[in-house]
Chains A and B, each alone.
Chain A
Amino acid sequence: MNANDVIESYVVDVMRRLPGKDRNGIGLELRGLLTEMLDDRAQREGRAADDAMVLGLLHDFGTPAGIAARYRPPGLVIIPAEQTRSFALLSLGGIGLQWALTLPRVFQGQPASAWWFSWGLGSLWWPGFLVMMALVAVGVRELGLARPAWRPRGVDPDRIDRKTFGIGFAWFVIGAVFMTCLPWIIGQLPDPLPRVFAFDPAFLRWRAPPVVLLWLLAFVNLGVVYRQGRWSPPTRWLEIGIHLAFLALLAWWLADGALFLARSTNDGARGGIALAALFIALDLVLKLYRRRTRIHPPKIATG
């Protein structure tokens, strides 16, 4: 194989990676360029071009993939740099959550290989799903179907809209009253519902009452916010404290005994409570993260 054949083969390698309409033009130009570079090098070194010289030239010039990439316009960014970290956290968090929920089956006797080839590998659907969603978002942006709707906020973020806040607050009170009256309401339902939804007496006597106290505390805190028309540092911190207490209470409910006498009802309720605990935990993380990114005064140098 002579030097020209080596150059020809390299150029064809580059051309394979280029769009069809540009291939020939770029290939011809590239071959001419490399031939002239080789002639120059041979002249500088005062000897005829040989295999080592042409291979050295191509090595210095770059890989076919790298050269072809330079001829292409910049590609679409699927996950922008500012979202890479949250994408990684969301992906790993989703996989971690699925593993945390399914891995205990291995400790209950399921073979580890069976878990790995079902939920272990199967949980990778989540990052794939996120990438697909990111691709859809890129498509929507590129087609101009959605424009960024961001506007600077004219009011401080601690201020509340009393009407919306009041409606939310009212629904919270109605829900809490309903849950408090649930044992009595179930007793009034026709058979077999009272048997299906019968609470565990120990749960009602010991583990359920603290929730009423937490709801009352939350009502007082939200009432103060409603009256002041805005959140303040004490009401924010109290809300975080109440959420932590709710998390601890829900964990106690999940860990210690049954909530309902019927097993299927109990399993369903425990699933619902686990989900509620997850939402509260996520809300807490979000609130604490937002607090962390506040502007703090600088450290002024002295002396």
Chain B
Amino acid sequence: MAESRENPTAKLELELRRGALVLAVLSQLREPQYGYSLRQALAQRGMPIEEGTLYPLLRRLDGQGVLASAWRIEDGPPRRYYHLNDAGEALLAELTATWGALVGTMAGLLEGSGT
């Protein structure tokens, strides 16, 4: 089936950002955060993410054993706070190294394509 050729840029940009989503989320969970505060922290740093995507992602990472979570009450209703556990810290370090290598590779490729 032929894919729609209407505005491929938006779709490709979304795919590009989606690839970096897990790393972005992990990077903000060194300190405990609940879903909504995490979303706001990401949005403030230029990485807006839909709630409908963020919450399932948090639960998936929790299920995969890289996050620890607990319900807490801090100036408001009960909220589920997530933070990296030891496995999450190790995963973050690995993904950060991969990301660094990828950025270097891409920079080289893009620089080469500009000449």
Residues of A participating in the B interface, judged by any CB pair closer than 8 Å:
22, 25-26, 28-30, 32-33, 35-37, 61-62, 66-67, 70-71
Which stretch from B24-32, B47-55, B103-111 is at the chain A interface? B47-55
Closest B residue by C-beta to A81: B1
Which of B53, B56, B78 neighbours the largest number of chain A CB atoms within 10 Å of its CB?
Answer: B56
A-B contact count (CB 8 A): 39
B59 touching A22 by the CB < 8 A rule?
yes
**Which of B53, B59, B79 lies in contact with A32, CB distance below 8 A?**
B79
The answer to whether A28 and B78 have CB atoms under 8 Å apart is yes
The CA-CA distance from A67 to B56 in the complex, in Å, is: 9
B80–A61 CB distance below 8 A: no
**A33 with B55: CB separation less than 8 A:** yes
Which 9 A-B pairs have CB atoms at the shortest separation, nearest pair first? A70-B56, A71-B56, A36-B36, A29-B80, A62-B52, A70-B52, A32-B77, A33-B36, A67-B52
Min CB–CB distance A200 → chain B (angstroms): 52
Taking CB atoms and an 8 Å cut-off, the chain B residues in 45-78 that contact chain A are 51-53, 55-56, 59, 71, 77-78
Contact of A28 (CB < 8 Å), options: B36, B52, B53, B80: B80
Known: A25-B80, A28-B78, A28-B80. Is A33-B51 also a contact (CB below 8 A)? Answer: yes
**Closest Cβ–Cβ distance, residue B10 to chain A (whole Å):** 18
CB pair B56–A35 under 8 Å, yes or no, is no
User: In the assembled complex, how far is the CB of residue B34 from the closest CB belonging to chain A, in whole angstroms?
Assistant: 8
Residue contacts A-B, CB under 8 angstroms, 29 given: A25-B59, A25-B80, A26-B55, A28-B71, A28-B78, A28-B80, A29-B35, A29-B55, A29-B80, A30-B55, A32-B34, A32-B36, A32-B77, A32-B78, A32-B79, A32-B80, A36-B36, A37-B36, A37-B51, A61-B51, A61-B52, A62-B52, A66-B52, A70-B52, A70-B53, A70-B56, A71-B55, A71-B56, A71-B59
Known: A32-B36, A61-B51. 19 other contacts (CB 8 A): A22-B59, A25-B59, A25-B80, A26-B55, A28-B71, A28-B78, A28-B80, A29-B35, A29-B55, A32-B77, A32-B79, A32-B80, A33-B55, A37-B36, A37-B51, A61-B52, A62-B52, A67-B52, A71-B56
A35 engages B35 (CB within 8 Å)? no
Contacts of A61 in B (CB 8 A): 51-52
Inter-subunit contact A35/B51 (CB<8 Å): no
Query: Nearest Cβ distance between residue B14 and chain A, in whole angstroms?
Result: 15
